């Protein structure tokens, strides 16, 4: 379960941001997880809830935004969000596409007081 190591890194990042902003209490953590990231949202939530104790995130609400796959068609230069993992352009049906979003996980925002 690599979600545990991801949460450890996320909590370290939250601690650092809190320190830089003279805060000792993070109230909300928002992440974006791409459907192709390999991160399981439910396991990430469980890991966050488990490891946040005795950190600046102890009372934080954890928000997960799911990012669908976004492609750029190399044939017609159209960007599209895919509803299914069918990697072809919805406009021209070309399979000459490049994934431009939906493969990563990002810390989007923190709220502190």
pLDDT at 111: 97
Query: Does the annotation place 76 within a ligand binding site?
Result: yes
CATH level 2 (architecture), domain 2-112: 2-Layer Sandwich (3.30)
Separation between Cα atoms, residue 67 and residue 45, nearest integer Å: 16
Query: Does the annotation place 73 within a ligand binding site?
Result: yes
Helix (H) or strand (E) holding 81: strand 79-81
Q: Are 61 and 27 spatial neighbours (Cβ–Cβ below 8 Å)?
A: yes
Is 1's pLDDT higher than 70?
Answer: no
Query: Does the annotation place 14 within a ligand binding site?
Result: no
Segment 21-40 shows an average pLDDT of 96
pLDDT at 103: 96
pLDDT at 80: 97
Query: Does the annotation place 89 within a ligand binding site?
Result: yes
Query: Does the annotation place 57 within a ligand binding site?
Result: no
Separation between Cα atoms, residue 73 and residue 76, nearest integer Å: 6
Report the SS3 class of residue 57. coil
Separation between Cα atoms, residue 46 and residue 13, nearest integer Å: 18
User: For the chain, what is the largest distance between any 2 Cα atoms, rounded to a whole number of angstroms?
Assistant: 53
Bridge partners of 29, per DSSP, are 62, 110
Segment 10-21 shows an average pLDDT of 97
Question: What percent of the chain shows pLDDT beyond 70?
Answer: 99
Q: What is the pTM of this model?
A: 0.88
pLDDT at 2: 85
Distance of CA 2 to the CA centre of its chain: 14
């Amino acid at each position: 379960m690599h979600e545990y190591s991801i949460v450890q890194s996320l909590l370290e990042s939250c601690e650092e941001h809190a320190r830089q902003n003279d805060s000792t209490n993070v109230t909300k953590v928002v992440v974006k997880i791409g459907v192709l990231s390999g991160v399981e949202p439910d396991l990430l939530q469980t890991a966050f809830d488990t490891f946040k104790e005795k950190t600046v995130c102890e009372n934080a609400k954890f928000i997960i935004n799911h990012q669908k796959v976004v492609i750029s068609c190399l044939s017609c230069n159209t960007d599209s969000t895919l509803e299914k993992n069918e990697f072809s352009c919805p406009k021209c049906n070309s399979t000459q596409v490049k994934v431009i979003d939906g493969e990563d996980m990002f810390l989007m925002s923190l709220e502190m007081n």
